[in-house]
């Protein structure tokens, strides 16, 4: 089930990104800082009293061109209106109310979405009186906060949680594989969807998805039920949306949240660009099974080494996703298309696989015996016990004498040994450490 979406909007320099980082800060600590992952994020996950939600920082969206501040503000607000279930409208206590604030407010009036008004930079009691002028914006009681000092963030999150809708469970059963197609514009996502469905000709129904920007298409192949979640080309968009490629990330997040398997579609003719890394990185961080699908392979000039060389380019650019298989297809000619769904089924099974505890401990024990952990200031990591605590993605908890002694490189070594033993192809693995207590 997809999380509700909260967008932070406001004119430049009101502190949107600082508050964004405050909201998702605790979560960031468990996100892997692996080579190749782009750290330029506009999306994160927040939580308050058991309510989890996705957060979009519109301050992370940049507009090309000169002197387009008003256009930028308008675009960010419009993006948020379309994507979000609730909106945090941020203003600046120090600067006071500005014409740009009023401009954003006018856009939000028409949104008919819940709006929480946050007055940032209320760093002390003297500034508390500065929030009152913002009542005139017409969004109820302003909440005074300080992103820099963490003041009032709890009050803000409480207000956000109260405004969020309760999302209903989707209709599809556990035996249905949800497949999301993501990628930057013009890589051929819609063509790929049409090719898959056109080849099978077993569409059950076309229905609007529960998320506003995705269309779900259920179908069945060889007794296996699938749902394709397509994020491409559902609505005609004005030029305002075409001016930023980061918008594709915002759209993709809806599909990623709901998917079991994510197809990261790459344009084989154009090759890999930085935006592909942005989009793939979100699928990885969301813990989804993933497959790289290189489309338009029919128009690539190639010899017997081209496919191998392109695969190596993917491995070099996506160092954090070496587990994801690569499939070369052509949506236009349906070349190799028959190979795609079997790979989807395989990685879905690996993503949901649970390993017996005694087998997992045997592999970890052998790994430690073959390559013992290095010492750190005279202390050595000791792994007492390993158990898989969840699936989708496979998540393994290691009980150790001191979690601080688990070095990143040794964690990677253990992950590689576990993969070698149980495959886990196409899915990330999460490893966490916990100090073994006396009663465990």
Residue 93 belongs to a domain with what CATH number?
A: 3.40.50.300
CA distance 8 to 164: 14
* Residue 393 sits in the same domain as residue 332: no
Confidence of residue 213 (pLDDT cuts 50, 70, 90): very low
Predicted confidence at residue 250, as pLDDT, reads 59
The SS3 call for residue 274 is helix
Predicted confidence at residue 244, as pLDDT, reads 45
**Residues 51-98: pLDDT tens digits?**
888 888 776 444 444 455 556 666 656 766 777 889 999 999 999 998
* Residue 197 sits in the same domain as residue 243: yes
* Residue 276 sits in the same domain as residue 225: yes
- Conformational region of residue 414, where left means phi above 0, alpha means psi within -120 to 50, and beta covers everything else: alpha
Lowest mean pLDDT among 12-26, 222-236, 329-343: 222-236
Name the average pLDDT for the chain. 81
* Residue 130 sits in the same domain as residue 262: no
Confidence of residue 233 (pLDDT cuts 50, 70, 90): very low
CA distance 56 to 275: 17
* Residue 323 sits in the same domain as residue 365: no
Predicted confidence at residue 293, as pLDDT, reads 96
Residue 117 phi/psi, 5-degree rounding, is -90, 115
- Give domain status of residue 76, yes or no: yes
* Residue 279 sits in the same domain as residue 224: yes
**Residues 405-430: pLDDT tens digits?**
999 999 999 999 999 999 899 999 99
Predicted confidence at residue 231, as pLDDT, reads 63
Predicted confidence at residue 212, as pLDDT, reads 36
pTM of the model: 0.69
Could you tell me the CATH number of the domain that includes residue 406?
A: 3.30.300.20
- Give domain status of residue 29, yes or no: yes
- Give domain status of residue 168, yes or no: no
Host domain of residue 103? 5-163
The SS3 call for residue 267 is strand
Lowest mean pLDDT among 47-56, 136-145, 281-290, 411-420: 47-56
- Give domain status of residue 171, yes or no: no
* Residue 300 sits in the same domain as residue 392: no
User: CA-CA-CA-CA torsion for 197, 203, 209, 212, nearest 10 degrees?
Assistant: 50
Predicted confidence at residue 73, as pLDDT, reads 60
* Residue 225 sits in the same domain as residue 290: yes
Confidence of residue 217 (pLDDT cuts 50, 70, 90): confident
Confidence of residue 108 (pLDDT cuts 50, 70, 90): confident
Of 321, 351, 381, which residue constitutes the final position of a domain? 351
Has residue 102 got a pLDDT over 80? Answer: yes
Q: List binding-site positions.
A: 10-17, 57-61, 120-123, 183-190, 230-234, 295-298
- Give domain status of residue 309, yes or no: yes
Has residue 113 got a pLDDT over 50? Answer: yes
Predicted confidence at residue 177, as pLDDT, reads 95
* Residue 31 sits in the same domain as residue 79: yes
- Give domain status of residue 87, yes or no: yes
Has residue 401 got a pLDDT over 70? Answer: yes
Predicted confidence at residue 152, as pLDDT, reads 92
Of 163, 188, 220, which residue constitutes the final position of a domain? 163
- Give domain status of residue 440, yes or no: no
Contact by Cβ (8 Å): 31, 285? yes
Pairing of strands 43-48, 51-57: antiparallel
Has residue 205 got a pLDDT over 60? Answer: no
Confidence of residue 171 (pLDDT cuts 50, 70, 90): low
- Exposure string of 329-368, with b = 16+ CB inside 10 Å and e = fewer, is bbbeeeeebeebbebbbbbbebbbbebeeeebbebbeebb
Q: Which residue has the tokens 């405050």?
A: 22
Predicted confidence at residue 184, as pLDDT, reads 74
Q: What is the mean pLDDT of residues 6-12?
A: 86
Has residue 440 got a pLDDT over 70? Answer: no
* Residue 397 sits in the same domain as residue 342: no
Lowest mean pLDDT among 89-98, 179-188, 384-393: 179-188
Q: List binding-site positions for GTP.
A: 10-17, 57-61, 120-123, 183-190, 230-234, 295-298
- Give domain status of residue 241, yes or no: yes
* Residue 325 sits in the same domain as residue 380: no
Instruction: Look at the chain and report how many structural domains it folds into.
Output: 3
Of 131, 163, 195, which residue constitutes the final position of a domain? 163
* Residue 131 sits in the same domain as residue 186: no
């Amino acid at each position: 089930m997809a999380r509700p979406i909260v967008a932070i909007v406001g004119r430049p320099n009101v502190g949107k990104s600082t508050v964004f980082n405050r909201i998702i800060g605790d979560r960031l600590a468990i996100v892997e800082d692996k080579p190749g992952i782009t750290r330029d994020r506009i999306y994160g996950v927040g939580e308050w009293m058991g309510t989890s939600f996705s957060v979009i920082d519109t301050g992370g969206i940049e507009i090309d061109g000169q002197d387009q501040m008003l256009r930028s503000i308008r675009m960010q607000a419009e993006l948020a209106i379309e994507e979000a279930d609730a909106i945090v409208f941020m203003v600046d206590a120090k600067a006071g109310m500005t014409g740009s604030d009023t401009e954003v407010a006018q856009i939000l009036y028409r949104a008919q979405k819940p709006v929480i008004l946050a007055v940032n930079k209320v760093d002390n009691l003297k500034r508390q009186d500065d929030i009152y002028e913002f009542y005139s914006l017409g969004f109820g009681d302003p909440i005074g906060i300080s992103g820099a000092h963490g003041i009032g963030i709890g009050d803000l999150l409480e207000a956000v949680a109260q405004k969020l809708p309760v999302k209903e469970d989707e209709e599809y059963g556990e035996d249905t594989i949800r497949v999301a197609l993501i990628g930057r514009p013009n890589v051929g996502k819609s063509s790929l969807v049409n090719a898959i469905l056109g080849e099978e000709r077993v569409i059950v129904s076309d229905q609007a998805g529960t998320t506003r920007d995705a269309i779900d298409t259920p179908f069945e192949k060889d007794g296996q039920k699938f749902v394709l979640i397509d994020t491409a080309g559902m609505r005609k968009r004005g030029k305002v949306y075409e001016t930023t490629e980061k918008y594709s990330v915002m759209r993709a997040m809806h599909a990623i949240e709901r998917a079991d398997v994510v197809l990261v579609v790459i344009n084989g003719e154009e090759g890999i660009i930085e935006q592909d890394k942005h989009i793939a990185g979100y699928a990885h961080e969301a813990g989804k099974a993933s497959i790289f699908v290189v489309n338009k392979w029919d128009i690539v000039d190639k010899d017997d080494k081209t496919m191998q060389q392109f695969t190596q380019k993917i491995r070099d650019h996506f160092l954090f996703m070496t587990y994801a298989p690569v499939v070369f297809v052509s949506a236009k000619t349906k070349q190799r298309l028959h190979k795609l769904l079997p790979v989807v089924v395989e990685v879905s099974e690996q993503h949901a696989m649970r390993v017996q505890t005694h087998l997992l401990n045997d592999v970890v024990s052998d790994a430690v015996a073959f390559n013992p952990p290095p010492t750190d200031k005279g202390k050595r990591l000791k792994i007492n016990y390993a158990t898989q605590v969840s699936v989708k993605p496979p998540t393994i908890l290691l009980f150790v004498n001191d979690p601080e002694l688990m070095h990143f490189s040794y964690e990677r070594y253990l992950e590689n040994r576990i993969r070698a033993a149980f495959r886990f192809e196409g899915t990330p693995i999460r490893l966490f450490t916990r100090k073994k207590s006396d009663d465990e």
